[in-house]
Amino acid sequence: MNRFQLEVRIKPRPGLLDPEGKAIHHALDSLGFEGVDDVRVGKLVDLQLEAPSEEEAIERATQMCRKLLANPVTENFRITVANEPSDGGRPA
């Protein structure tokens, strides 16, 4: 088995309200930061998991997102492999 470090980025779907993003946008404006058109607040989840292949690791992370990490009605997610697979230093 290989060990994979995955990043899961979860963001509100375009067009849906993002109250936290709106509050940050207003705060930035009131602090004098000009030129910020929009702010969207999401989540970053780092996953380290073991899988036989990168494809299997991504598939497992996708299932995790669909079942727990992301709300499929209101959020989109993107999974990226953050590093090369490692056998964790274990002897072959």
Cα of 25 vs its chain's centroid, Å: 21
pTM score, whole prediction: 0.80
CA 69 – CA 63 distance, rounded (Å): 9
Which segments in the chain show pLDDT lower than 50? 89-92
CA 64 – CA 56 distance, rounded (Å): 12
- Nearest 5°: the CA angle 15, 62, 40 is 25
Q: Which domains does the chain have, with CATH numbers?
A: 2-81 (3.30.1280.10)
Q: What percent of the chain has pLDDT over 90?
A: 85
Cα of 55 vs its chain's centroid, Å: 17
